Amino acid sequence: ITVADESVYHRHTVKSGETLSKIAKHYYKDPSKYQAIFKANSDILKNPDLIHPGQELIIPNI
């Protein structure tokens, strides 16, 4: 059993009205860093403009 290292990333549950840019601004103070979140979640996200409430995203430390 491996335990995820929470110092490497956070988990974020998408809320209604959020975008990757808004989430990036919250965590990184820079909305243009949304691409880091998109890349870290490429297994579940196919389009950075389409995220849905309830999705759990990995927010990498950059």
Q: What is the pTM of this model?
A: 0.84
% of the chain residues with pLDDT over 90:
82
How do residues 26-44 score in pLDDT, each as one tens digit? Answer: 999 999 999 999 999 999 9
From start to end of 1-62, where are the E strands?
Answer: 9-13, 56-60
Q: For residues 5 and 20, which has the higher predicted lDDT (pLDDT)?
A: 20
Q: What class does CATH assign to 10-60?
A: alpha beta
Task: Supply the pLDDT for residue 62.
Answer: 86
Please name which of 61, 46, 55, 47 lies closest in space to residue 4, comparing C-alpha atoms: 61
Contact, 12 vs 59, CB < 8 A?
yes
Q: How far apart are the first and last CA of the chain?
A: 26
Cα 42 to Cα 40: distance, rounded to the nearest angstrom: 6
Task: Supply the pLDDT for residue 28.
Answer: 97
